Structure 1
Amino acid sequence: MKIDLQGRTAIVTGSTAGIGRAPAEGLARAGASVIVNGRTQSRVDEAVRQMRAEFPEGVISGIAADLSTAKGANAFIAETPAADILVNNVGTAFLRNYDGLKDIVAIPDRDWLGLFELNVMSGIRLSRHYLPRMVSKGWGRVVFVSSESAVNTPKEMLDYGMTKTAQLAVSRGLAEAVAGTGVTVNCVLPGPTRSEILGDYIAKQAEEAGITLEEAEQGFLQALRPTTLIRRFATTDEVANMIVYVCSEQASATSGAALRVDGGVVRFIA
């Protein structure tokens, strides 16, 4: 299968590193003009520099904006008013040591609200701007990068899991709203992945315990994701492969779906 996205403009939020950076590169490799996003100008500039070096024939640009706020989203939109592909990837999680109910009830309002603003509202704000323009053109792709935590609620990250479940509801509702228009909306659900956030957390655990990175990853899986079938962390490129595919012309019959790249962690057949 050859995915050709020449002539398409793709936005990937939170794409200076990790799970966002890999699909930004994949979309550029497929010929799309790619807009990189991050919170700080320095990180955006460095990501654009690296991607331009890797794809000298590509059209790569960047916008620094904090998409957890309406002001940041509006500033982003002002710089790029139209796009064919929107990958709502930006997000984060608070990785905590879990010791039962007392830790759940201790999560402060600012953590619940902060994660919701970044993980959920960023995608809502951008989608409600770009989706109508895609519909008017008769073609478009919107992808929310959710998580297996959306359906496999993690007690140790309940606030994060809540936001990922919300993304499923939003993406399905938007897909139904644009039915029959040539625009698709989907969710991709990664499992444990060697991303910047989780990778740094695991590296710190390995250093503190005096073990290898692989041993720390295996300890994480055995303790928190024992149902994994691949028995390892996924790579960001493996997640990106699904995202790039669902952005393609070949994925035109896939919409309103929750597409898992979770290594089999979730014990669902469907």
Structure 2
Amino acid sequence: MKIDLSGKTALVTGSTSGIGAAIARGLAAAGARVAVNGRSERTVSAAIDRIGGEIPGADLVPAVADVATEDGTAALLDTVPRVDVLVNNLGIFEQAAALEIPDDEWRRYFEVNVLTAVRLTRAYLPGMIEAGWGRVQNIASDSAIVIPAEMIHYGMSKTALLAVSRGFAKEAAGTGVTVNSVIAGPTHTGGVEDFVYQLVDRDLPWEEAQRVFMREHRPQSLLQRLIEPEEIANLVVYLASPLASATTGAAVRVDGGYVDSIVP
């Protein structure tokens, strides 16, 4: 299978590190022009330099904006007015005791993890429909289905994202535009390393800490290891391609078998 995204413009929110950076790199390697998004010029510039060094000739566009705000989204739309591929990757997560999460935190998780994706989809989807081709992907999580007791506000936001994806897919029905969510399993990122050390002994070396975390807190994983960001990106790049033209309205799993189900 050869994936060629030449001539396509992609935007990946929160793409200066972790899964977002891996997705941006994967899309660029497939030939897409990729808008790299972050909140500061420093982090965006560093990400572009890093990706450009790994992929000579990559067409990368700096998109500095806090897309979790309406003003930031407006600034982003000025920089990148139309895209063919939108990957709503931006998200926040943190451990919190269920009965101690205040209203403001519930609102913040909905605002950042759900409403940001809604706002950008609402902005870019009409142009895709007009062009007769487009891809919207929302990066969800196994936590959308297996709600973690230590962060139910995060789980709630990712469950909502599955519903948002299905709803917008119906809006785009028959237009040549697909809308999907990607259910990512426990993934090895800097943020997840911090999260792991919230739950296991901080004095443990990383490889041992990871094994303890998976054994004690994610025992249902069939991989029995954290997923690497590039493994998430591989699925996203495929779904962004013409090869995935019949996949829409779906919640596609790249979860290492974490969700104990034989259906999506």
**Residue 113 (structure 2) pairs with residue 152 (structure 1):** no
In the aligned structure 2, how far is the partner of 1:53 from the partner of 1:167? 33
**Residue 141 (structure 2) pairs with residue 139 (structure 1):** no
Match of 1:196 among 185, 190, 215: 190
Partner residue, 1:181: 175
Partner residue, 1:4: 4
In the aligned structure 1, how far is the partner of 2:18 from the partner of 2:249? 25
Match of 2:101 among 87, 101, 107: 107
* SS of structure 2 residue aligned to 1:144: strand
* 1:88-138: CA deviation from partner (whole Å, max 9, x where unpaired): 000110124xxxxxx312101221111111111111111001001000000
For the Cα contact (< 8 Å) 1:28–1:58, is it kept in 2?
Answer: yes
For the Cα contact (< 8 Å) 1:142–1:186, is it kept in 2?
Answer: yes
Partner residue, 2:250: 257
Partner residue, 2:89: 89
Partner residue, 1:100: none
**Residue 150 (structure 2) pairs with residue 164 (structure 1):** no
**Residue 30 (structure 2) pairs with residue 30 (structure 1):** yes
Q: CA deviation at 1:200?
A: 3.0
Normalising by structure 1, report the TM-score. Answer: 0.94
For the Cα contact (< 8 Å) 1:188–1:261, is it kept in 2?
Answer: yes
Match of 1:118 among 86, 100, 112: 112
* 1:190-214: CA deviation from partner (whole Å, max 9, x where unpaired): 11100121023335766x5422212
Counterpart residue identity of residue 34, structure 1:
V
Residues 256 and 202 (structure 1), Cα distance of their counterparts in 2 relative to 1, 3 Å cut: same
Residues 118 and 245 (structure 1), Cα distance of their counterparts in 2 relative to 1, 3 Å cut: same
What is the aligned residue count? 263
* 1:214-246: CA deviation from partner (whole Å, max 9, x where unpaired): 221122122221111011100000011111110
RMSD: 1.3
**Residue 41 (structure 2) pairs with residue 41 (structure 1):** yes
Q: CA deviation at 1:67?
A: 1.2
**Residue 204 (structure 2) pairs with residue 231 (structure 1):** no
In the aligned structure 2, how far is the partner of 1:7 from the partner of 1:196? 32
* SS of structure 1 residue aligned to 2:227: coil
* SS of structure 2 residue aligned to 1:186: strand
Structure 2 unaligned spans of 5+: none
Normalising by structure 2, report the TM-score. Answer: 0.96
Moved more, 57-66 or 79-88: 57-66
In the aligned structure 2, how far is the partner of 1:248 from the partner of 1:119? 25
Counterpart residue identity of residue 223, structure 1:
E
Q: CA deviation at 1:265?
A: 1.0
In the aligned structure 2, how far is the partner of 1:130 from the partner of 1:50? 27
For the Cα contact (< 8 Å) 1:147–1:188, is it kept in 2?
Answer: yes
In the aligned structure 2, how far is the partner of 1:148 from the partner of 1:238? 15
Counting aligned pairs with the same residue, the percent is 48
**Residue 238 (structure 2) pairs with residue 216 (structure 1):** no
For the Cα contact (< 8 Å) 1:5–1:248, is it kept in 2?
Answer: yes
Structure 1: 4+ residue segments shifted above 6 A: none
